[in-house]
Amino acid sequence: MSMPLRQSLRIGTYILRNKIRGREKYPLIAELEPLFACNLACAGCGKIQHPADTLKRRMPVEQAVAAIEECGAPMVSIAGGEPLMHPQIDELVSELVKRKKFVFLCTNALLIPRKIDKFKPSPYFAWAVHIDGLRERHDESVCKEGVFDDAVAAVKECQRRGFRVTTNTTVFNTDTPQNVIEVMNYLNDDLKVDEMMISPGYAYDKAPDQEHFLGVQESRELFRKAFADGNRKRWRLNHSPLFLDFLEGKVDFPCTAWAIPSYSLFGWQRPCYLMSDGYAQTYQELLDETDWDSYGRGRDPRCANCMAHCGYEPTAVMATVGSLKESIRAVRST
């Protein structure tokens, strides 16, 4: 794990404070979707399947900030769609950074050259660029040639200007351990991004391609082989050691989707950003009126093959903070 020390201490303190207060459910990171529109049509994403009038909508900055303040999450992942298509995205980021939220702006990077002048480097802000493989594999994933090269050029420009840059890589059953090793080596050793996230894809209903999502056993085997030979320790992975154990099948966890809630144009999504069982108008309503015990592997058949970070990463983080041994292990890997 390579999470910056400032961020690690903030999250650890936040979790301990909630434990002392006796809160059982609270958010670690809020998924904020201020729009669904995108400039790509990736086969594994269903966001642009919304009706045309919905794709034209943009969340007001005041509404987005109010939702984040209400839920109280110390970290915010701004996604979509493509958030850089939002005309006030720089204002939204600025307002959240002012409040000392750790903000990750998820993007395919195509619009970074046109928008970068609107942003300022900050320890509370990072670009989170989607890179699903090397050139051929990534362009195939996003269904458009040339995107990989544009994304790499954008990452280098962000680095030149002093921004933190992270990446997010989603793997499917068309990936091999060697594919994963090659892209992670490139991001870690050649592109030298600050941190990398990696997660198996989840077959949610709106995704156009339903054939290439990984099952649980497939995921475990893939990650076990990719992480072998010291790769896991060498790569600057932005995950807790326990979550990486989870991906390899060394431990198992229950789903805690309430810890990474998703707020979009429709409200707080039940139970997570990958499933749509209705919406709540406030985070507290989401907590109080959602039957959380009915979700997760072994409880809901739709969750049978899910190992997504939105459900299981927070469980691993909370287990880490709750164990002196795992806390020491996490600090050593930072």
| Residue 210: predicted pLDDT | 45
Sheet holding 262-264, edge to edge: 195-200, 164-171, 125-130, 102-107, 75-78, 29-32, 262-264, 267-272, 275-280
The total number of residues shown for the chain amounts to 334
pLDDT of residue 203: 57
Query: What is the end-to-end Cα distance of the chain in Å, rounded?
Result: 5
Closest of 11, 16, 25 to residue 284, by C-alpha: 25
C-alpha 101 chain-centroid distance:
15
Paired strand residues for 28: none
Q: Is 198 helix (H, G, I), strand (E, B) or coil?
A: strand
Cα–Cα distances in Å, from 261 out to 31, 37, 58, 131, 193?
A: 6, 20, 19, 23, 26
* pLDDT for position 334: 62
Q: For the packed helices 89-98 and 61-71, what is the interaxial angle rounded to 10 degrees?
A: 30
Angle at 249 between CA 246 and CA 254, to 5 degrees: 50
Question: What tens-digit pLDDT sequence spans the chain (334 residues)?
Answer: 456 778 888 888 999 999 999 999 999 999 999 999 998 878 767 676 788 999 999 999 999 999 999 999 999 999 989 999 999 999 999 999 999 999 999 999 999 999 999 999 999 999 999 999 999 999 898 889 999 999 999 999 999 999 999 999 998 888 999 999 999 999 999 999 999 999 887 655 554 544 556 788 999 999 999 999 999 999 999 999 999 999 999 999 999 999 999 999 999 999 998 888 999 999 999 999 999 999 988 899 988 888 888 889 999 999 888 877 877 777 777 6
| 186 touches 196 (CB < 8 A) | no
Q: How far apart are CA 203 and CA 303, in angstroms?
A: 9
What are 167's strand-pairing partners?
129, 196
Q: Are 179 and 149 in contact (CB under 8 A)?
A: no
Partnered with residue 101 across adjacent β-strands are none
Q: Is 248 helix (H, G, I), strand (E, B) or coil?
A: helix
What local confidence, expressed as pLDDT, does residue 215 receive?
Answer: 84
pLDDT at 202: 65
> Which pLDDT score, from 0 to 100, does residue 1 have?
43
Output helix, strand, coil percentages for the chain, rounded to the nearest 5: 45, 15, 40
User: Using the 8-state DSSP alphabet, how is residue 294 labeled?
Assistant: G
